[in-house]
Structure 1
Amino acid sequence: MLELAALKEFLEQPRRIVITTHHKPDGDAMGSSLGLYNYLIQQGHHAKVITPTDYPDFLAWMPGNGEVIIYTENTKESAELVANAELIFCLDFNTLSRINELGELVRASNAVKVMIDHHLEPEDFDDYRHWDINACASAQLVYDFIVNQLNNKQLINKDVATCLYTGIMTDSASFKLPNTTSGVHRIAADLIDLGAVNWHIHDLVYSNMSENRLRFLGHCLSNKLEVFPEFNTTLITVNREELEKYQVETGDTEGIVNYGLSLEGVRLTAFIVERKDKVKLSLRSKGEFPANEICKKYFNGGGHRNAAGGESTDSLEQVINKFKLILPEYKKLLIQ
């Protein structure tokens, strides 16, 4: 592995840098990526953010977003940038399969690879790793990387602070998940002092729905919510026809899984959606319940204890039945 001193020395000269993050990027993925981008360009680096896929419109307001390259829409340019990069930052993912076809380009690149992430069981493709599974967001780790490892807090300007605050806010579910420690709140306060307008960021992310998205959310809560009181669990399922009916776009399903946890006594909630080529599953839990264990064991996925995801090539009905059959196995944990 590369030593920190060697990385700092490497970054003393302007470099060709690519920043990438996982497919279908969320607020933390884009916040950490654009936060790092806005930091690097101040030092004269030629930096580019490349996302494997598109991402929600409610994240497109962030500083630097206009320079983002979407791989699926610009494969040739993306491939050239990766091939010519001297350094590649891999943010908010820890295995190259999470960036789809872009992963093999990164693997083949001779660039120095830096991973900044907080997910379990990282793949050994990186040369330098800033990794902590206890961090609430990768944006928190980017802040720590800039401030405490590179000693460049003076370069956290308003643009950097805005992006990093967005990443921390979204991945902590607006600062309410268990890993939102006092240290996280101190970082958030510091970012506000450095220019992040917290209330405005919250408004841009959470009060920016299209009419279709709002009606789709209402449909999910009114017509698709199932409650299993004997397991303190809720489930929302959506098929492809419903996605088409409500003209669901990238990001429109974001956060729906969380609503089940607002019911009194619920400890586990699931959102299962039928996509074109596979069925996707998102789990959220409270306390010590291991949502990531279910995703890893049964649905080819993983994640954090209280926020995890998986997928299956089985039919929607098969995935739904499988999830329901799993619940008795975890009944003791769910009702304790």
Structure 2
Amino acid sequence: MNLEIIKAIKGLLDIPQKIVIIPHKNPDGDAIGSTLGLWHFLKGKDQDATIIVPNDFPKFLKWMPGSEEIVNFEKDPSVAKSLINNASVIFTLDFNHLGRIGQLQPLLESSSAAFVMIDHHQEPDDYAKIMYSDVGMSSTCEMVFNVIEGLGELESITPDLAISLYTGIMTDTGSFKYSSTTSRTHLVVAKLIEKGAKNTEAHNKVYDTNTPSRLHLLGCALKNMVILEEYHTAFITLSQDELDTYNYKKGDTEGFVNYGLTLEGIVFAVIFIENREEGIIKISFRSEGDFSVNEFARAHFNGGGHTNAAGGRSDVSIEETISLFKSLLPQYKDDLNA
């Protein structure tokens, strides 16, 4: 990675700082793994560091070492505000636009702290003093490893730090199957296992802790799947009533969208999930090959992400959202048939 970035980060960490680490809203495995990995590293260097999440994260990530120390802004807003107001350095991980952190956005916009961005999503904003942005990376966790390596601190990697980064890489690469997984990714993972990351334990705790209600919800989602062969597209819908029927908990729909891509001939998969409380339809997009769901989400659904994985939202009903989505497909027919 860029030596100037390493020098700049080292300059910040050469003196005691009050550090806040923040992932995006609705944090996933990479967001939680990268923030915990960085937190373990900074604590090992006697820095005063705290992780603040904009809102809660899934139960299947709460086994990770140090997760009990994370401050949830929605539950403890006064604590979070005080920490942000007093911070001298703020690390923002796994997002590159302050719009991704919900109610924390105005607090960060008014902060005088030095910002450090570590992220692998496309089209970053320029709010950070130090920007480590690389869309070619498998995950933000791999990037945190690169920072630690660049600082010459690989010996500082503890088993707790290692399992945090391993878990984030594992989840963001689809257990190492996505095209973003490189030979370098595997070398990083090998080093993390060498440092004490128990790979089987991470897999079991993330993927093998289903509840009966989650599996029933998956059955409902698959029953709702619509296949549009002409456009090599499959989409799933889940209404708020269906979520309520199956006792939905945060994280229960993680990975559901990927089932569409397991169908032969499908290159574009989407899931539409109604969120009545926020008044939106949450959308996840996945693709195979060269079809950019990042561009599709940015153009039509107030979102973005990566070429093959992106998110978005709609402010109209689920029926209107589906109608709009289907009306867009003809203009992408050639791309989807490529």
Bin of the TM-score, shorter chain as denominator length: over 0.9
Q: String of CA shifts for 1:117-137, please: whole Å, max 9, x gaps.
A: 011111111110111011110
Q: String of CA shifts for 1:35-72, please: whole Å, max 9, x gaps.
A: 00011101111111000000100000001101000001
Residue identity opposite 1:269 in structure 2: A
How far, CA to CA, are the matches of 1:116 and 1:10 in structure 2?
A: 15
- Shift of residue 333, structure 1, vs aligned partner: 1.8
Q: How does 1:290-305 map to 2 (within 5 A)?
A: 290-305=292-307
1:321 to 310, 320, 323: 323
1:130 to 129, 132, 142: 132
* Identity, % of aligned positions: 43
How far, CA to CA, are the matches of 2:83 and 2:330 in structure 1?
A: 50
| Partner secondary structure for residue 80 of structure 2 | helix
| Partner secondary structure for residue 185 of structure 1 | helix
Q: Which residue of 1 aligns with 2:251?
A: 251
Residue 5 of structure 2 contacts residue 132 of structure 2 at CA under 8 Å; is this kept in 1? Answer: no
Residue identity opposite 2:36 in structure 1: L
Q: Which residue of 2 aligns with 1:152?
A: 153
How far, CA to CA, are the matches of 1:198 and 1:54 in structure 2?
A: 25
Residue 122 of structure 2 contacts residue 305 of structure 2 at CA under 8 Å; is this kept in 1? Answer: yes
Q: Which residue of 1 aligns with 2:193?
A: 192
Q: Which residue of 2 aligns with 1:265?
A: 265
How far, CA to CA, are the matches of 2:326 and 2:280 in structure 1?
A: 19
How far, CA to CA, are the matches of 1:44 and 1:177 in structure 2?
A: 36
5+ residue gaps, structure 2: none
Whether 1:176 and 2:190 are equivalent positions in the alignment is no
Q: How does 1:11-26 map to 2 (within 5 A)?
A: 11-26=13-28
Q: Which residue of 1 aligns with 2:228?
A: 228
Classify 1:3/1:257 alpha carbon distance in 2 versus 1 (closer, same or farther; 3 Å). Answer: closer
How far, CA to CA, are the matches of 1:183 and 1:125 in structure 2?
A: 29
Q: String of CA shifts for 1:268-308, please: whole Å, max 9, x gaps.
A: 10000111211111110001111111111110111101001
- Shift of residue 7, structure 1, vs aligned partner: 3.1
Q: Which residue of 2 aligns with 1:206?
A: 207
Residue 6 of structure 2 contacts residue 147 of structure 2 at CA under 8 Å; is this kept in 1? Answer: no
Residue 14 of structure 1 contacts residue 43 of structure 1 at CA under 8 Å; is this kept in 2? Answer: no
- Shift of residue 6, structure 1, vs aligned partner: 4.2
How far, CA to CA, are the matches of 1:3 and 1:63 in structure 2?
A: 28
Residue identity opposite 1:318 in structure 2: E
Residue 159 of structure 2 contacts residue 195 of structure 2 at CA under 8 Å; is this kept in 1? Answer: yes
How far, CA to CA, are the matches of 1:320 and 1:119 in structure 2?
A: 26
Q: Which residue of 2 aligns with 1:63?
A: 65
Residue identity opposite 1:258 in structure 2: N
How far, CA to CA, are the matches of 2:179 and 2:111 in structure 1?
A: 38
Residue 115 of structure 1 contacts residue 126 of structure 1 at CA under 8 Å; is this kept in 2? Answer: yes
How far, CA to CA, are the matches of 2:166 and 2:7 in structure 1?
A: 27
Residue identity opposite 1:285 in structure 2: S
For the aligned residues, what is the CA RMSD? 1.1
Q: How does 1:38-117 map to 2 (within 5 A)?
A: 38-117=40-119
Residue identity opposite 2:103 in structure 1: E
- Shift of residue 4, structure 1, vs aligned partner: 4.1
Q: Which residue of 2 aligns with 1:331?
A: 333
Residue identity opposite 2:235 in structure 1: L
Q: Which residue of 1 aligns with 2:37?
A: 35
- Shift of residue 156, structure 1, vs aligned partner: 1.0
Residue 5 of structure 2 contacts residue 131 of structure 2 at CA under 8 Å; is this kept in 1? Answer: no
Residue 130 of structure 1 contacts residue 145 of structure 1 at CA under 8 Å; is this kept in 2? Answer: no
| Partner secondary structure for residue 74 of structure 2 | helix
How far, CA to CA, are the matches of 2:248 and 2:79 in structure 1?
A: 29
How far, CA to CA, are the matches of 1:249 and 1:3 in structure 2?
A: 39
TM norm structure 1: 0.97
Residue 231 of structure 1 contacts residue 335 of structure 1 at CA under 8 Å; is this kept in 2? Answer: yes
Residue identity opposite 1:293 in structure 2: E
Residue identity opposite 2:286 in structure 1: R
- Shift of residue 219, structure 1, vs aligned partner: 1.4
Whether 1:163 and 2:164 are equivalent positions in the alignment is yes
How far, CA to CA, are the matches of 2:110 and 2:27 in structure 1?
A: 23
Residue identity opposite 1:130 in structure 2: Y
Q: String of CA shifts for 1:95-116, please: whole Å, max 9, x gaps.
A: 1111111121112111111000
Residue identity opposite 2:200 in structure 1: W
| Partner secondary structure for residue 179 of structure 1 | coil
* Corresponding pairs, count: 333
Which aligned runs of 4 or more in structure 1 are off by greater than 3 angstroms? none
| Partner secondary structure for residue 22 of structure 2 | strand
| Partner secondary structure for residue 282 of structure 2 | strand
How far, CA to CA, are the matches of 2:291 and 2:179 in structure 1?
A: 12
- Shift of residue 13, structure 1, vs aligned partner: 2.5
